[in-house]
Every structure is written in structure tokens, then in C-alpha cells.
Amino acid sequence: MQVFVFDIMGWPSGDRTLHPLPGRLYDRDAGRDFYLDHLQYYARADELGYDGVCFAEHHFGPLGMCPSPNVMAAAVAARTSRTKLVMMGNCLSIHHPVRLAEELALVDNLSNGRLVVGCIRGSFLEHWAYNVPADESRGRFEETYELMQRAWTEDEPFPWHGRYFNFDTVSILPRPVQRPHPPLIVAGNTPETVEFAARQRVPLAVSFGPTEVLARTLDYYREYAERECGWTPGLEDCLVSRQVYVSTTNAQARAECEGHVMSFYAESPVLRRYEGKLEEMRQAFQVVRGFDYQRREHTTPTQMQEMSYERFQRDGFCIVGDPDHVITQIRKQQQILKVGTILTYLPFGTMRVSEAMKSIELFAREVLPHLRDDSGVLAPANGGSAGGRANGGAVPVRDASGAS
């Protein structure tokens, strides 16, 4: 099994419900230290043997302080040597596709072929920040995805005249180190996103739902891929993100982490109400996490029922405990979800980097060795190479024929 560290870089103090966060409340000195601490955190994850470190894009608010995962990944590339740099991800529907393709190709060069490109539409907060209408979100996402891949792989300049973007000439430099391009992942759990990932023959990452609900999502992904797309996803094509925290005992882990778990879900943008146009955008994007995938109908949003630490542990949202408990629960999720990669989401809520650092140190010593097995490790992309060396178990990239 592969294990990534996933960190959205939430601001751990102050009024975390404000959106946007006024600049007058931002502490520049604390901010500088905040980013330096996160750089040390990623470098330590590399030293400890984590397979990847993940970056997420958020704008205008304290819940995520990384407006450019590409810039952050470039900085981390200079401080690490082995771990994958995993975008989870760039919000494709709010960006200029040619600029995005160029930046990601540059990061792949700076990291000597360690980039993994996770593609997301992003939340209503990101679309509101960049003034992208909700009804254009999916179309922009899919067109950007297609144009970005073509920009990486075309040998000659080419024109592009789509629904949202028009270019007489596209010809990016540099080219990615990895061939045909960096590994791709699609993250999400709506029927449209699940089906898009299956049609593109790329791995699907899921998160923020009870284990039984995410199992239905991944089952539908596998079933749709087989029935409609002519290929069979394996363990290497399925990823899950979970908040994972380990301490010396179950009681100690709860004492250290319960407040952070509850703060995270209390502040969830999906469950809150906002004002004015921001609330209008939230309503336009409102998607519950459970689906009848065959009939494409929504079911009761289970996240909005019982808001308790016990419930979040019971339903698999978070895995908090001593090493034995964490090993058991991760293996349970791996078996039920049939995933080959877990993104250990840490820090989260009001947790500081120093607290997360203690957890990843203990996790690396007492948990990580027990999760290593050949069945869950992701294969190199197309058997290719990065700068003359093996891709080191990158997420597979499939071409249009389905070859991996």
C-alpha cells in the first residue's frame, strides 16, 4: 500500500469561520513561519519514507492557505529527493489551461519526474473567488483537462478552438520529464466525476464520507469502467483520503486530537451557510455525498446527521488511536474500499504542524512498515522513466487504448 501525507495548510488559529479572511487580520510574521514549518514538515515526510506529499488549492480563507500548489511543490522539490509531489489538486475549472500545463511541466522538471497531477473541479469557494459561474464548472474542468494533456504530448504547435478557450497556437516549453506526461488522478464522488475518471482510464480518489458510502462510489467506478469503458480498475487505480492521527495510546490520541476533529467538521464549508452571492454559489454547488449511482439520485446526506467524535471514528472519517488501532483500521478500509493508496490527511482543523510532526514520526516507525505489500503498490507510468531512473511506483497513466 502507498501512503501519502495530505495537507491543505489550514490556518490553525483566529476566527476560522471568516470568508474571505480580511488582510488586516493576517499576521505576516506568523505567516512566514507557518510556510517554513510546512516546508520542514514535507521534507521530514520525505526522510521518513512516505510515498508522496500532497498539496491542495484554496483561496481567500483560513481553511486552506495554499493558493498555488504548483509554487509550493516547486519549493518542496528543492528540499526533497524521493517522495512524489502530488497535486490534490489544481482546480482545473478556474485556471488558464496553457499556463497550468506549463507550470506543471516545470515542476516535473524541477523534481526530476516526481510530479503526480491530481485534477479537481474545486469547491464553490474557489469558483466564487475567481468569479467562475457554477454552470460552467464541469465544462471548463473537462476542456482544461483535455487541452493540458495535449499540450504536454503534441510534438508540433497546434490550434485549439473549444467552448471556453481559443488559441491559434499552443506549444509549451518545457516538456514534462515523465512520458507521455505526469501520472494523472481525478478526485471526486459525483456520478459525473466518477464516470469521467472511468472514461479517461485514470485513478479515482475519494474522501469525506462514511466508509460504506465511499465503497459504493468506488464500486460504481469499477463497474462503470468495465461496463462502459472496457477496462478493469485495480487497487492501483483507487485512492482514499482519511484524517489519520497516531499517538502512544488510544486515550492519549483522543485527548490530543478530538478537538481538532470537531473543529474541522464544525467549520466544513459544505455544512455552513454564508451570505449573499457566496451562499448562492454554495447552493449551486451543493452536492450530497451519498448517491444511487444507477439512477443518479441523491440520498440522505449522512454527514449532517450525528456530529460527534465517536461517529466520525465509527464511520471511518478519521482514524485516531495507537499504532495497533491505526493499522487495523487502515487495513479494514483497504479491504472494504479495495484501495492501493491512502492519503493521510494531517494536520487538519486547529492542529498545528508541530503536533502533526509527532504523529508522522510515530506513524513512520510503528505503522508504515505494516502497510507495505506488493498488492497495493502503484505501478510505474507506462513502464517509463524520469530523468533516466525508474518512476518509483507512480500512479499509472493509461493511453486511449487502455494500456498502462
CATH architecture of 2-390: Alpha-Beta Barrel (3.20)
pLDDT beyond 80 at 21: yes
What band does 294 get if pLDDT is binned at 50, 70 and 90? low
- Locate 354 and state its grid cell: 508541530
Rounded to the nearest 10 degrees, the angle between the axes of helix 191-200 and helix 137-153 is 20
Give the pLDDT score at 18: 87
Question: 322: how many CB neighbours lie within 10 A of its CB?
Answer: 18
Q: State whether the Cα torsion 67-68-69-71 is positive or negative.
A: negative
- Locate 48 and state its grid cell: 521518513
What band does 303 get if pLDDT is binned at 50, 70 and 90? very low
Give the pLDDT score at 291: 60
- With a pLDDT cut of 90, the percent of the chain lying above it is 76
Mean pLDDT to the nearest integer, 309-314: 94
Q: Is 363 exposed, middle or buried (0-12, 13-18, 19+ CB in 10 A)?
A: buried
Mean pLDDT to the nearest integer, 300-306: 49
What band does 305 get if pLDDT is binned at 50, 70 and 90? low
The whole-chain average pLDDT of the chain stands at 88
Phi/psi of residue 389, nearest 5 degrees: -125, 165
Q: Which amino acid, residue 20?
A: P
Query: Could you check whether the bond before residue 89 is cis, i.e. omega within 30 degrees of 0?
Result: yes
pLDDT beyond 70 at 367: yes
The DSSP output letter for 22 is P
Helix (H) or strand (E) holding 343: strand 341-345
Per-domain residue ranges of the chain: 2-390
9 in the Ramachandran plot: left (φ > 0), alpha (ψ -120 to 50) or beta? left
Give the pLDDT score at 275: 86
Instruction: Lowest mean pLDDT of 42-46, 106-110, 261-265, name the range.
Output: 261-265
pLDDT, tens digit, for every residue of 183-205? Answer: 999 999 899 999 999 999 999 99
- Of 223 and 307, the structure prediction assigns the larger pLDDT to 223
Phi/psi of residue 120, nearest 5 degrees: -135, 160
